[in-house]
Amino acid sequence: MKRRAAFTLVELLAAIALMALLLTALLTFVLSFSEIWGGSGEKRLFEQHVNAVTHHLDAMLRRAALPTGGRTPAESFVIRTVDAPGAPRGEGLGFLLTRGDRLLSWNSQPAPLTQCTLAFDPTAGRGLTLYWRSELEEDENAMHETPLSPFLSEVAYRYREETSGRWRDAPRLERNGDRWRVPEQLILRFRHGDYTAERTLPLPFAPGGLPLF
């Protein structure tokens, strides 16, 4: 009579141990890969947010610099005091959007003839905010608030000196005597956890220069 072949107890224990090692290695690989994927995914989302905010703001500034209604590009930007309920009083970059913008909704449509003030407030957690009102609104004191990015951690204003032609970054908007100076560029610095990003936005019309289209 032939003896039936079978695994010995030692062989079964060795197979179980080998399978346990393979499962442990596979689980370690999956967990480490998910951590890497999750971290890179968060970074990509942060970069997409930064790019979307800066591209849309750049489009706004370019449209504001278009000569309309007898206004020249040199008169497109002004320094304006933010005076909105609940908002800290300070200065921001003011401009006019004649056709409005999709972010500035009034009666379910982009508000036309919109006076905008771009401001940054690091103390109240607002980040980069756009304060605006349409010239067609009856209430002249009405002011709307549209947050653009809560991740903006710092803004610098880049000026070009008329005498030396050198560029200089200032942490705040500056005056020239009793008048505010409009900067040539905005430096936007974003932060979210360990991720940081910096973008430079030139104003489409630099004071005293040519349009930057």
d(CA 54, CA 14): 60
CB 114 within 8 A of CB 101: yes
Query: What pLDDT is recorded for position 67?
Result: 74
CB 187: neighbour CB atoms within 10 A?
17
| Beta strand extents in 10-89 (DSSP E only) | 78-82
Q: Which residues face 128 on adjacent strands?
A: 120, 149
Give the contacts of 168 (CB within 8 A, at least 6 positions apart). 158, 159, 160, 161
Dump pLDDT digits (tens) for 161-189.
888 889 999 999 998 888 899 999 999 99
- pLDDT, residue 8, reads 74
Residue 206 has a pLDDT of: 47
The tally of CA atoms less than 13 A away on the side-chain side of residue 7 is: 8
Burial 56-72 (b: 16+ CB within 10 A, else e): ebbebbbbbbbeeeeee
pTM of the model: 0.74
Q: For residue 15, report the phi and psi dihedrals to the nearest 5 degrees.
A: -65, -40
**118 near 104, Cβ under 8 Å?**
no
Q: What is the DSSP letter of 93?
A: E
Domain ranges for the chain = 52-202
Structure confidence by residue, pLDDT tens digits, 130-146: 999 998 888 877 888 89
> What pLDDT sits at residue 28?
60
Residues (pLDDT < 70) of the chain are 1-7, 9-12, 14-15, 17, 21-39, 68-74, 84-88, 123-125, 205-213
